[in-house]
Structure 1
């Protein structure tokens, strides 16, 4: 790698590594160390091909997704996640409530299968449409839809207190993937 490409790569890592790390941690079920390993491996692959990459962030994210898919296909045994007790509610109740919510979400996501977690991260954290998630995972759109449905149902069962955060009165937000259809009699 020449000096210009090396400087470009360093700048990319400095500017985008925190956002990429958040995605990697979510993909690895909240395990920061596994997320760091996932990101480091993706950046190593990107560095080797840096002069041929047109969109570096898209490339690194694609490598992250594919590496995570490879990890759960290997069916590694899930390691226990050790976390400290959540902080006591102090003067700043909102901050501790947000921390409790993050811990609750992390715990619930960690109890999903790697495939379920990956689909939810791609759909709702990365905000990818179903067709793009299907392309990334190498499956059909129907598989993405059914996996998303089952994953959300399991997430609701694992952490029912998350249901209070959704739309009021059980309202459902229409999916952005579908356009309204006029029905004629």
Structure 2
């Protein structure tokens, strides 16, 4: 009797559907950060593990090294992820190649990260002072494929001016989902 084969995963799915790499991408999203910043932002991840996953994200073309500088004999890299043309997403062809369990894992990673970000906000006691930047909602839309493409392009054009850091601007994480109704 032959064992059932596991469907092949896509390179992007392999990179992004890992909890540590997902957390790294979420921390870099919309910013330039050093590996030292990442160690500070993700203190529960051992440095060697963090560096290994950062290297995988660089090699996979998700993170880009924008600067390097020598600090106490070591090279410190500054990393970014270009949100306007981000490669840190799973395209339709790759999504088609994914199994239902891989899709579930991807959504679970996103929801886990959102929950962790919310918990940090609440634990710091910042929620009341930041309510104007906080919100969640859900709406049902009636669209066909062309409408959905148009909506996505419109949202992309709408948010593009806000993807880069600027003086006096706070960083927020804005997440959207589109799920077909059953």
TM-score between both structures, scaled by the size of structure 1? 0.29
Q: Per chain length, whose mean CA-contact separation is higher, i.e. which structure has more relative contact order (CA < 8 Å, sep 6+)?
A: 2
Between structures 1 and 2, the one with greater helix share = 1
Between structures 1 and 2, the one with greater strand share = 2
